[in-house]
Structure 1
Amino acid sequence: MSIADHRFEPPERLARSLGAGPADETAHAWLAKLPHTVQEYLERWELTPERVVTPGGRSSMLVLVRQSDGTPAALKLALPDGRAALEHAALTAWHGLGAVRPLRADTEAGVLLLERLSGEVSLRSLTEPKAVLEATATLQRLWVRPPQDHPFPSVADGTARLAGAVREYGAQPWAAEARALAEEALDLREALTAGGQEPDCLLHGAYEQGKVLAGSRAPWLAVGPRPLVGERAYDLAWLVRDRVDTLLASPGSGAGARRRVTRLADALDVDAERLRGWTLFRATHAGLSALAHGSRPAGELLLEFAAML
């Protein structure tokens, strides 16, 4: 094996996120091999590297590259845990409509080559009203009928793991003050997955303003899906939570949070009560997870937001 190029060492945020658990030998081995893996795919796909994106994400590494014809692209490397295959399947189904285009893939290895977007410019760079308008317009383009024989989990199956985490965290002594909220979130999730939903759509699964980047062939394109199939209210929930720190710092923040639910539900013809339920569930899960992993300010902020709903 050739000597690894230190330019391709994992960014600190990624190493800290995936390397935090000493028992996770798979993640540690993947991080250690990452510089070699980058070099392997640069050679295999005839790519010229420009730079590693920093601080980058918490679950993948992105290297800005140029293809052999000089076209800019982005090489994304993630743990080979199956998520890249789902991401590639969703991006392929969207055909570049509202989302980044995949150029090449080795999904078993967790490696994707994507069209280059302006990673420094997301919808968060816009004023809130403009960002919400663009975010909802882009999201609607992603809500298509799932392909036949698709590999995507349902919202019910996808949230079963989240519910397990809420149940586990909610039982911990440090979560005593959030226990009632955790129980409400679990009850809501149970009711929401019991039936009465609209026909299934292909969902982004992790949609927020920061996941919508400026592009050259379209003004705004979504990246980083965690695709599922199910009702649209689940996908819309994270937009309700966006810029939560600004919301909670405003007078009448509780009423403001509820108005967000109503406005977004009306704008996209989604049932407001189901949107409220999914928002509360997802915010509670995220808040408890943040507390469990030592991010107290973020966790408390999300749980305060969930309680307002």
Structure 2
Amino acid sequence: MRLPPALRDEWRREPAWLAELPRLAAECAELWGLELEEPFDTPRSLVVPAGEVVLKLNAPSHFEADHEAGALLCWDGRGAARLVARDDERRAMLIERCRPGECLWDTNEDERAVVAELLPRLRREPDTLHPFRSLADEAERWLEEVPRRYRLSGEPFERSLLDFAVDVFGGLDRRAAALVNQDLHGGNVLRAEREPWLVIDPKPLVGEREVDGVGLLRNAALEGGTASVQRWLDVLQELGLDRERLRAWGVAHALAWGWDEERGWSPRSVEAARTILAA
């Protein structure tokens, strides 16, 4: 199997997993009776179409995707691609294939209008025995990691931005129990036939509902500046989310996800945090 160059580059620090991928894909094909086609050119996971389904394999260290299958199962095809089968040992899943499969960003559709229709349908509060990682646990990790990275890298941006994020991590609502998606944006919404649009690639947590907005605000900040962020805040507020918590989590999460072990701080992520804070 030909692995996409972008995938090889993204996971170059995990050569053992890359070497295992052809075998894992072949085992999944035998297990589920698939005729695999050429992989999609995606960097974060191996994604291989097979007729009316898609085989997806996630890297072992990609822990944000640990419970992707669980989120799809919880949504049960309502506003999101349907989970067909899973093999947690291989970190593999079969997902409904979205046809024609264009991502929302590649169309002329109004992203805000499409997401405003989808987001209320994705709202869930899992029972207490759910498998998902909690926002509270993640915030505790970020509360230690983000300031440490800031110090080790020589304080590369204004201290006020860090302090704002630290206050958000430390002041979250621990009673909140919504299933939320840290990576909802137009690149992860595909045109489909069963429903007009379906969400893919969730990075689920359980916690404050406003975390559903972090991917939308991050990308709005990078592509359209404060005016675009403000328009998204207007839309999400109309859906019942708290404007200030949306803004707060937008800033804090941009920094939480703004670090690369090889490259250090992402200038784009830091700039996104600044822009959201100013909105």
TM-score (norm 2): 0.88
1:284-303 aligned at under 5 Å gives the runs 284-287=255-258, 289=259, 293=263, 296-303=266-273
Secondary structure at the residue paired with 2:158? helix
Hey, what does 1:93 align to over in structure 2?
A: 74
- Conserved in 2, the CA contact under 8 Å of 1:240 and 1:264? no
Q: Deviations over 1:264-308 (max 9, x none)?
A: 342211111111111110122233x15962675534532442442
The match for 1:5 is none
Match of 1:24 in 2: none
Secondary structure in structure 1 of the residue aligned to 2:85: strand
Asked if structure 2 preserves the Cα contact closer than 8 Å seen for 1:261 and 1:276, the reply is no
1:217 aligned residue (194, 215, 224)? 194
CA contact (8 A) 2:81 2:96 kept: yes
1:13 aligns with 6
Secondary structure of 2:77's counterpart equals coil
Distance 1:119 1:192, change over 3 A: farther
Which residue identity is paired with 1:161?
Answer: R
% identity of equivalent residues: 30
- Cα 1:296–1:80, aligned 2, differ >3 Å: closer, same or farther? closer
Residue identity matched to 1:57? P
Q: What's the counterpart of residue 148 of structure 2?
A: 168
Deviations 1:6-56 (A, max 9, x none): xx2432222222223xxxxxx3211111111112211222111121101x0
- Going from structure 1 to structure 2, the CA distance change for 1:83 and 1:295 (only over 3 Å counts) comes to closer
Alignment-derived partner of residue 251 in structure 2: 280
Aligned to 1:149: 129
Kindly indicate whether the alpha-carbon contact (under 8 Å) linking 1:42 and 1:48 is maintained by their aligned counterparts in 2. Answer: yes
Structure 1 CA distance for aligned equivalents of residues 249 and 100 of structure 2: 29
Unaligned runs of 5+ in 1: 1-7, 21-26, 67-71
Q: Name which one, 1 or 2, has greater alpha-carbon Rg.
A: 1
Mapped partners of 2:238, 2:178: distance in 1: 17
1:124 maps to which of 105, 110, 127: 105
Deviation of the 1:84 alpha carbon: 5.8
Number of the residue aligned with 2:84: 103
Structure 1 residues 225 and 246: CA distance shift in structure 2, 3 A: closer
Higher relative contact order (CA 8 A, sep 6+): 2
Q: Name the residue aligned to 1:159.
A: 139
Between the aligned partners of 2:229 and 2:53, the Cα distance in structure 1 is 40
Distance in 2 (CA, whole Å) between partners of 1:79 and 1:246 is 29
1:47 aligns with 2:38: no
Partner of 1:23: none
Q: Deviations over 1:147-204 (max 9, x none)?
A: 45111122111233333331222113444323331122111221224x5x6x522222
2:22 corresponding residue in structure 1: 35
Question: What's the counterpart of residue 244 of structure 1?
Answer: 221
Shift of 1:210: 0.9
Distance (whole Å) between structure 2 residues aligned to residue 190 and residue 9 of structure 1:
45
**Matches of 2:233 and 2:26 in 1, distance apart?**
49
> Which residue is 2:172 aligned to?
192
Q: 1:299 to 1:270 in 2, by over 3 A?
A: closer
Structural RMSD (CA): 2.5
Task: Give the conservation status (yes or no) of the 8 Å contact 2:67–2:203.
Answer: yes
Cα distance in 2 for partners of 1:235, 1:273 equals: 14
1:225-264 to 2 correspondence within 5 Å?
A: 225-248=202-225, 253=226, 256=227, 259-260=230-231, 262-264=233-235
In the aligned structure 1, how far is the partner of 2:162 from the partner of 2:89? 36
CA 1:163 to 1:15, structure 2 compared with 1: closer, same or farther past 3 Å? farther
Please say if residues 57 and 92 of structure 2, whose CA atoms lie closer than 8 Å, have aligned partners that are also in contact: yes
Structure-2 change in CA distance of 1:148 and 1:296 (3 Å): closer
**2:96 alignment partner in structure 1:** 115
Quick check: 141-150 or 211-220, which moved more? Answer: 141-150
Offset, 1:224: 0.9
Instruction: Give the match for residue 47 of structure 2.
Output: 62
2:241 is aligned to 270
